[in-house]
Structures are given as structure tokens and as C-alpha cells.
Amino acid sequence: MKTLMKLIVSAVFFMQVITAQGTEKQKDYPVTPIPFTKVHINDAFWFLRMEINRKVTIPFAFKKCEETGRIDNFSKAAGIMEGKYEGIRYNDSDVFKVIEGASYSLSLHPDPKLEKYLDDLIAIIASAQEDDGYLYTARTIDPENPAPGAGDTRWSKLRGSHELYNVGHMYEAAVAYYLATGKDTFLDVAIKNADLLVKIFGPGKKHDIPGHQEIEIGLAKLYRVTGNEKYLNLAWFFLNERGKAHDGELYPESSRFALYNRTRHIQDHKPVLEQKEAVGHAVRAAYMYAGMADVAALTGNADYVKAIDRIWENVVSKKLYLTGGIGSRHEGEAFGDNYELPNLTAYSETCAAIGNVMWNHRLFLLHGDAKYLDVLERVLYNGLISGVSLSGDLFFYPNPLRSDGKFKFNQGALTRKPWFDCACCPGNLARFLPSIPGYVYAYKDNILYVNLFVSSHAKVKMANNTVTIKQETGYPWEGAIKITVNPERSEKFAIYVRVPGWAQNQPVPSDLYKYMKKSEEKASLKVNGNSVNLNMDKGFARIRRKWKKGDIIELNLPMSIRRVLCHEKVEDNRGKVAFERGPIVYCAEEIDNGENVHNLAVSDNVVLRSEYRKDLLGGVTVIHGKVLSFYRSKAGKAAFKKEQKFVAIPYYAWGHRGEGQMAVWLERSRD
Ligand SMILES: [Zn+2]
């Protein structure tokens, strides 16, 4: 397709979406997010992280892709370099993810040097593509001897080959690059590949599934940009094919493989509409649920919505860490049973956290309910950004809630590492961080949603008006949020300001966690200096009035320290307490508390204080107070109590000051 044609097609498609002309309107999410390119963040917390991602993580990840042969694999497949395939069969995907991140970064910060680097890299990728559109360097380099696990022939081992997973990331990257630069070089590669898949797979053609979901999200994005329904239909087809035992490999639940059951592992144990519990590999699952949400929104399929709603209930009430992490088992990187949430051996992969944000955001866009944003915010500020160091060049793959200073959870390490053989997480962070501004605002008809509290400004084109909105706040350390509203025309519409669950005595939208004491401090709201009642609607304070230029909303969230208790069924957390302040989950580290972190008991009655420490870990609010340090006898009885100082830091910042003990959940003393 020629560039001009494509631009016309996508322009028409976007106009249909934006102008919402009756029946002409393409089906989509009822709530529309304000894209990250239209939201300008100037906030101390996120701006810094995004700048480090742009200046350190993205170049660092490209360098690692070069050093580890990931980029050479494309050169070899293109025939411009000699040699064998290097690395694991899905390494192409890492390069695609970093290109996606770099493209997002280009959208926000034009950078000719980076654009030239991407152009050259995309030219190599295009040359590595086979004539009919196939792209999988693990096979193309030497089709007679493909990389281990790739399968002898094309599509012969889809459950493990990641052929379709890789190209799913390629579609996402190609769309990102196209939207950032207007250049169609990479999009052409994606379209040629997707056209091949449309020829191979579908009703009356090959019936099978991708062993690792991701292509569904990529195909939905390709559909949005091209307006070509065949890509959406293929995403739908792949989802509907799950649970049909194409190769007859259904293990019975009771078999010795029950713990790490391949069919459950890839969510292929039941048709997706019959799945009620989150099982198997957590990243696969989260990508699948996000893909199902996309297909539901773009086709209007209500059954898909019901299915993912049911699975969400299961995760939020039984399988979610306090940090927002999901997937508790190292074995199979998988969801555990209900309430199986161990702390020391928590897997809670960084990629699964990113998938959890993607999924919850889509559910918000479907339902307009802030409970999904409560989960999203919990993941974002805790178990997701813990995945990358403050310096931007060290990464956690798992994100446990406890460390004994011995159990090497991070692929042989006790702290963050620069890279991994299976390097899914660093590239995923590189692409996720620039997209954060896209989660802050949204609109639906004449409702403007303020979802997250981040100093920023954005221009929002609503159904009948254009509104410039500006936020000023010291969140997450301070609870005061000032929002200035500037509509082009003075008129009546609604602004929905999220009041987080944690500010309403509900840490998560379930009974999995609760605050030890209900706080009497309430969130409060003012408009132009006058207090207004909180008219709550699905977790948002609804302010419907005739807005005029310069109107000011002030939201005040109570930022007291909260003690959190866990559902009794979670064995590891019985008799324990955790600490939160605002959206931040805290932990105690050895460096601040000595080697006895796991034998510290916090009395219900002790006064804890918070203090902002500019000099510490890039500037954080710490919690401090007095606790009892004790020793356990062999019989498990606590003895020899002595008082000592206690300091807790935000969980996301742990592991920056050497190896050692850490705990989110501490012993609770009722003394
Ligand atoms: Zn990962």
C-alpha cells in the first residue's frame, strides 16, 4: 500500500472515531483515553523516570541487543552477515519492544540521531523478512537447523516457538513507529506479515493457537491503524481457538503435571469464554485478557466482557499481591492457587505487572469504573516500577515481597541485574514508561475523567468542546491536587475526579486486603474555593456544572500512614501487618533496620511518622517509629524483646543499597 493511501485510510478511520458520527462510528471502547502524546507531564516523580528511560534505558537496551547478537540475528537473516542464530528463539521480540519504546520517545522528543538509528534498524528487519512476509530470524537464518524450540517447519510448534508472539510485538512496534514518524517502512513489514497469517490461519484454513499470547493486541492495533477488519478477525479467531486441544495435549487436572500443566500454562485448558480463574503463565494470561478486552471493545462482544470480568474478580480477590504483582510461582512463572501468595518466593514478574496495567486500563475504558484504576495505580507505583532501578540500567525480573538475603530470586542474583538471557522485562519497561501519560486522562461524550494524579497539562477534545486541563500536585508524597479547567466555550459538562479506594478505606476492590482501622480522615473537594459534596459515581467524584475558563478544583486526599491486614487464607501474611501511605506500599530493609528485619514486631499502638527525605533514593517519604526486635525459640515462641528504631521505605525503591533482608509484611504485635 502506498503511503498516501495508508494515511488516507488511517485519517478516515481516526476521524470516524473522533467525530463519532452516529452509525458510521467504528465500534471501540466507550471511554477514550487521552493519548500520551497529548498529555505533557512536568511532575517530579514521573517526569524524572521517563527522562531516565529516554536517556538511559532505551539506549542501554539497544546496546544490550547489539552485544547479545539480537540485532545481528536480523543481519544474518537478511544475508548481510554470516553466522548462526544466537540466543533464545524469541529474542526478536526484545528488539521490537525497544523499537516501540524508542518510537514513543520520539513522539515526545524528536531526536534525529535516534530516528536514523531506527531507520537503519528497520531496513535490516525488512531485509530479514522472507518474500512472502514470514519474519522469524530463528528459522530464516538456517531453515534446516532452526533455533532449539522453533519447530522443524513453519508453524509446526506454535505452542513453544513464539513465532506469533514475536510478530505481535513487531506489529505494536511498527504501529508506534508509524504514528511517531508518519513513515510506513516498518508498517509495511507488519502488514505483509499479517497478510501472510491471514492466508494461513482462519476458518477453513489452519486452526491453531499462539503458545504465548501477544499477537491479539498487535493485530488490534494494526486494525486501528489500517481500518482493515481482517486483522481484528484474526485476533478474534486466535482467541476463540483456545481450549480446543488442537494437538490433543490436554493433561488431566489430577496428573502430576497439575502444578505446571502445559495446557493451563498457556490458558488453552478451556475455551476463553469458559475460563473463570486466572491460571498458568501470568504474562501470557494478562496479555490474553488485554487482547480479549480489545476484541470485545472493537466488535461489541459482550460475552468476552463477562469472561474477563469474572477472571478479574478472581485475581483481585484471591491472586493479587499488595504491590499489585500477579503470578506468584517461580515454577512456570505462573498464577498460584487461590490465596497462594508467598512473599519470599513471590515471582510477580515485571512483565506481568505491565500486563496487569494494560488489562486494568482496558477494563476501565470498557466500564468507566475507577476500581480498575485503583488496581492500576497500585501496580504502577509499586510492583511495576520496582522492576527498574532509579539509574535506569538495572532490572528485576521477579519482584518478591520479602528477601532473606540468601534466596537468589533474580535469576541468580539478590538485587537488580543489567540484563537477562530471557530479557523480556527490560524491553517491556523501556516501552511502557513513555506511555504513562496516556493513563492520566480520558473522556466519554461530555464527561472528562481525571484518573491519576500527576502534574501535567492536556488538551482534551470532547464531544462538543475542547478543554485544556492542568494538574499541579506533589503526589504521591502529598495529597493536595489542584486542577485548573479551561474550556474553549463556557458550558455544562461533567468532570469526574477519581477518589482512590485507599482514600475511602478500601485498599483493593475486594476483601483480600483491609486497613486495620478505618480512617476518619476523608477526601475533600473544593470548586473555586468552595467545599462541595463528593457525589460519587463508580469511584469518581462527579462535578457537573457550567465550567468556565480558570475554574479550579482542589482535591485533598488524606495521606496518613495506614496499617494493612491480609485475608486470613493467605498463609504467609497471618499475624502480619504492612504499611501504606497514599498509593505507596512500604518495606523494611536491612540497611535501615539491622539484620533482624524478619524478627521485628510492630505494635498496633506505636505511633509511626512520615518524613520526606530529599537526599534518599531520589527523594522519598519514609515511615519511621519504634518497633520490638525479638528472637524466636526453636518452638517458635517469641522471646527477648527489645525496642529499636524502625524505618520503612517505598517498596519500589528497595534493593538500591546493597544486598540484604527486606520485608513488606512484618510481625504484628498487639501490645
Ligand atoms: Zn518479563
Summarize pLDDT for 575-625 with one digit per residue, the tens.
999 999 999 999 999 999 998 899 999 999 999 999 999 999 999 999 999
Q: What is the pLDDT of residue 524?
A: 98
Q: Please, what is the average pLDDT of the chain?
A: 93
Q: What distance in angstroms lies between residue 351's CA and the mean position of ligand 1's atoms? A: 4
Segment holding 192, helix H or strand E: helix 185-200
Unique residue bearing C-alpha cell 458550558: 491
**Cell, residue 121:** 534498524
pTM, to two decimals: 0.94
DSSP-based three-state secondary structure for 603: strand
Q: What distance in angstroms lies between residue 416's CA and the mean position of ligand 1's atoms? A: 13
Give the helix, strand, coil percentages of the chain, each rounded to 5: 40, 20, 40
**Cell, residue 592:** 535501615
Q: What is the pLDDT of residue 159?
A: 84
Q: What distance in angstroms lies between residue 329's CA and the mean position of ligand 1's atoms? A: 14
Q: What distance in angstroms lies between residue 350's CA and the mean position of ligand 1's atoms? A: 6
| Neighbouring-strand partners of residue 217 | none
Does residue 91 surpass a pLDDT of 50?
A: yes
How large a percentage of the chain has pLDDT more than 70?
Answer: 94
Which pLDDT band, with edges at 50, 70 and 90, does 247 fall under?
low
Q: What distance in angstroms lies between residue 425's CA and the mean position of ligand 1's atoms? A: 4
Which pLDDT band, with edges at 50, 70 and 90, does 635 fall under?
confident
Q: What distance in angstroms lies between residue 94's CA and the mean position of ligand 1's atoms? A: 10
Which pLDDT band, with edges at 50, 70 and 90, does 16 fall under?
very low
CA triplet 294, 296, 299: central angle to 5 degrees?
100
Q: Are strands 638-650 and 584-589 parallel, antiparallel or unpaired?
A: antiparallel
Could you give the angle at which helices 3-19 and 215-226 cross, rounded to 10 degrees? Answer: 90
Q: What distance in angstroms lies between residue 257's CA and the mean position of ligand 1's atoms? A: 23
Which pLDDT band, with edges at 50, 70 and 90, does 248 fall under?
low
**Cell, residue 601:** 514486631
pLDDT digits (tens, 9 = 90+) for 175-233: 999 999 999 999 999 999 999 999 999 999 999 999 999 999 999 999 999 999 999 99
Q: Are 402 and 344 in contact (CB under 8 A)?
A: yes
Segment holding 39, helix H or strand E: strand 39-41
Q: What distance in angstroms lies between residue 543's CA and the mean position of ligand 1's atoms? A: 40
Residues in CB range of 365: below 8 A, 6 or more apart: 29, 30, 31, 32, 33, 293, 297, 442
pLDDT digits (tens, 9 = 90+) for 423-461: 999 999 999 999 999 999 999 999 999 999 999 999 999
Q: What is the pLDDT of residue 642?
A: 87
Q: How many CB atoms lie within 10 A of CB 312?
A: 22
For 187-191, the CB contacts below 8 A with 24+ separation are 187/6, 187/225, 188/1, 188/126, 189/122, 189/125, 189/126, 189/129, 189/135, 190/218, 190/222, 191/1, 191/222, 191/226
DSSP-based three-state secondary structure for 392: coil
Query: Between the CA atoms of 463, 468, 469 and 470, what dihedral angle is there, to the nearest 10 degrees?
Result: 170
Q: What distance in angstroms lies between residue 83's CA and the mean position of ligand 1's atoms? A: 28
Q: What distance in angstroms lies between residue 174's CA and the mean position of ligand 1's atoms? A: 21
Does residue 7 surpass a pLDDT of 70?
A: no
Q: What is the pLDDT of residue 634?
A: 73
Q: What distance in angstroms lies between residue 547's CA and the mean position of ligand 1's atoms? A: 45
Q: Distances from the Cα of 282 to the Cαs of 213, 231, 278, 279, in angstroms?
A: 11, 25, 8, 7
pLDDT digits (tens, 9 = 90+) for 282-322: 999 999 999 999 999 999 999 999 999 999 999 999 999 99
Which pLDDT band, with edges at 50, 70 and 90, does 129 fall under?
very high
The top-scoring range by mean pLDDT among 37-41, 495-499, 519-523, 629-633 is 495-499
Among the listed residues 519, 357, 538, the one whose alpha carbon sits nearest the alpha carbon of residue 447: 538
Q: What is the pLDDT of residue 15?
A: 42
Q: What distance in angstroms lies between residue 345's CA and the mean position of ligand 1's atoms? A: 16
Q: What distance in angstroms lies between residue 399's CA and the mean position of ligand 1's atoms? A: 11
Q: What distance in angstroms lies between residue 423's CA and the mean position of ligand 1's atoms? A: 7
Q: Are 210 and 238 in contact (CB under 8 A)?
A: yes
Q: What distance in angstroms lies between residue 401's CA and the mean position of ligand 1's atoms? A: 17
332 exposed, middle or buried (CB, 10 Å; 0-12, 13-18, 19+)? buried
How large a percentage of the chain has pLDDT more than 90?
Answer: 87
Q: What distance in angstroms lies between residue 385's CA and the mean position of ligand 1's atoms? A: 13
The whole-angstrom separation of Cα 463 and Cα 443 is 9
pLDDT digits (tens, 9 = 90+) for 389-426: 999 999 999 999 999 999 999 999 999 999 999 999 99
Does residue 23 surpass a pLDDT of 80?
A: no
Q: What is the pLDDT of residue 289?
A: 98
CB-side neighbour CA atoms (13 Å) of 379: 28
Does the CA dihedral 147-134-72-50 come out positive or negative?
negative
More confident residue, 364 or 463: 364
Q: What is the pLDDT of residue 19?
A: 39
Which pLDDT band, with edges at 50, 70 and 90, does 17 fall under?
very low
pLDDT digits (tens, 9 = 90+) for 636-667: 776 778 899 999 999 999 999 999 999 999 99
